[in-house]
Amino acid sequence: MNKLINKFNKPNTLMVLTSFPEKGGEVAVENAISRYSHLLVTHFPKYQRVVVICEKRANEGPYEIAENVLVVPSYTYDSPAFAFQVGSALRKFGKAANLMVQFEFHIFGGKASIPGIMAVIASQSLAGRNVSIMLHQVVSDINSLSGHLGLSKGGFGSRVFNLSLKLFYGFVGTFCQKVLVHDSLLAKRLEGLVKQDKIVVIPHGSDLPKNVLTRIGQATRRSIGLNDGNVAVLVFGYLSWYKGSDWAVRTLGNIARKYPDLKLKLVLAGGESPTLKETGSYKAFSGKLQNLLKSNCKCTITTGFVPEAKVGNLFSAADLVVFPYRTKMSASGALSIAWQYGKPVLTSEAFDKNFDEADVKEALEQKGITKDDISFKLNQASFEKALLGLLQSQALKKNLGVAGRQIARGRSWDSVALLYLNACLGAYVPSFGISSERGIEAYAANQNTV
């Protein structure tokens, strides 16, 4: 351990506090942030040392996943000793000047874990560390998530939650040098709570565009029960109210029965939310969803949790990807994957704010695509119109594929990792859109020590 500490305890080392996959384990089985963090840290340039502080598991000590990335399991999930455990780990790397926190509610524990993460942020900032935080979720009004959390709209509980959120974001804005978010909508929600010069938008990363292998797609279709004539409508991600999992089952079921010749099949891909499945509100939602699935079993296929190695196969098998979100509180890894595979997408109006980002808008406009072409209101008539319009237009499907791949190429994980270094370390990186290879060369040239 001392040898590893000496190797990584350097001033320009980036400490990362996050959830992280188990050594050799499935990257997304714990939560979506563990997958995100794994993809991010493994795409930092080799010149950048990174130490990941993550949850402890049985018999799991510090280990390297790359020559420049050390993982140090340190804290117990949902532990009252969280702040002490993290602080103890960070003290071993006292020379490291920068700490970056990957934050989403529930990834470190329940509500009781929030004071712990706040204590870590405040203590590290007061000790002189440059602290930054990526807020994967930004919620300005908890009433938009009433069905997700089991709260009454406008009730006392909602008012308390809203006040608590404002206090939390204000706290983060006070003690963090940079507050990172994934898009301009989430940044706008922080206005008045965080100074504008502290807010940095870094888009969700994407793997480079992948070729859809027909052979693999066909094999996957057969393996999950799709026939050759079926139109596979994919809804991907942990099952939840705010993502509209139940709405998709009900609405696709109705449309499939209305237009039997289309042979529509909803592929509901994803398991229970690992961070919420024990809560009362989620158990109630899950029970209602199971009843809907029973009544729509002839036109719905459920896959359960999808291992990372099979995600690409599933997207290859899909004819289109739908995002029926009731509200937007975060970016979407699934949307990044859909773009990566050049898949046509349809989104609810609550989710189509993703198309307002400059690079996305440019890619769509170049192919003559408007938001009206690919978004719908959360009612059956609106979705039916959008779905039939897409299925009947080969040009729209093709153009969406081309635009998606362009977006994915510009948001490569290499480029996103460099944007993080610019925000968290002040390291030189090229402007967004310049190739990662040139960025890595520029970054390395501007480092005095590695």
The CATH number of residue 236's host domain is 3.40.50.2000
| Residue 403: both structure tokens together | 């635009």
Count of other CB atoms within 10 angstroms of residue 310: 14
Statement to judge: residues 175 and 68 lie in one domain: yes
Statement to judge: residues 396 and 256 lie in one domain: yes
Q: Is residue 340 part of a domain?
A: yes
Q: What is the spatial order of strands in the sheet that 63-66 belongs to?
A: 63-66, 69-75, 50-55, 14-17, 98-103, 130-135, 178-181, 199-201
Statement to judge: residues 314 and 440 lie in one domain: no
Cα–Cα distance, 124 to 87 (Å, whole number): 8
Q: Is residue 108 part of a domain?
A: yes
Statement to judge: residues 383 and 265 lie in one domain: yes
For CA atoms 247, 250, 251, 253, give the dihedral sign. positive
Cα–Cα distance, 415 to 430 (Å, whole number): 9
Statement to judge: residues 77 and 220 lie in one domain: no
Statement to judge: residues 71 and 98 lie in one domain: yes
Bridge-based pairing state of the strands 69-75 and 63-66 = antiparallel
3-state SS track over 7-58 = HHCCCCCEEEECCCCCCCCCCCCCCHHHHHHHHHHCCCCCCCCEEEEEECCC
Statement to judge: residues 162 and 300 lie in one domain: no
Statement to judge: residues 327 and 425 lie in one domain: no
Q: pTM score, two decimals?
A: 0.89
Statement to judge: residues 193 and 250 lie in one domain: no
Cα–Cα distance, 348 to 326 (Å, whole number): 7
Statement to judge: residues 303 and 394 lie in one domain: yes
Query: Rg of the chain's alpha carbons, rounded to an integer?
Result: 22
Task: Report the number of distinct structural domains present in the chain.
Answer: 2
Q: Which domain holds residue 43?
A: 2-205+412-445
Cα–Cα distance, 90 to 261 (Å, whole number): 61
Cα–Cα distance, 130 to 432 (Å, whole number): 23
Q: Is residue 450 part of a domain?
A: no
Statement to judge: residues 402 and 424 lie in one domain: no
Can you give the pLDDT of all 450 residues of the chain as single tens digits? Answer: 789 999 999 999 999 999 999 998 888 888 999 999 999 999 999 999 999 999 998 878 899 999 999 999 999 999 999 999 999 999 999 999 999 999 998 899 988 889 999 999 999 999 999 999 999 999 988 877 777 777 777 788 888 888 999 999 999 999 999 999 999 999 999 999 999 999 999 999 999 888 777 788 899 999 999 998 999 999 999 999 999 999 999 999 999 999 999 999 999 999 998 888 888 889 999 999 999 999 999 999 999 999 999 999 999 999 999 999 999 989 999 999 999 999 999 999 999 999 999 999 999 999 999 999 999 999 999 999 999 999 999 999 999 999 999 999 999 999 999 999 999 987 544 444 433 344 444 444 444 333
Q: Is residue 49 part of a domain?
A: yes
Q: Is residue 95 part of a domain?
A: yes
Statement to judge: residues 383 and 426 lie in one domain: no
Q: What is the DSSP code (8-state) at residue 210?
A: -
HSE (CB half, 13 Å, CA atoms) of 72?
24
Cα–Cα distance, 337 to 265 (Å, whole number): 20
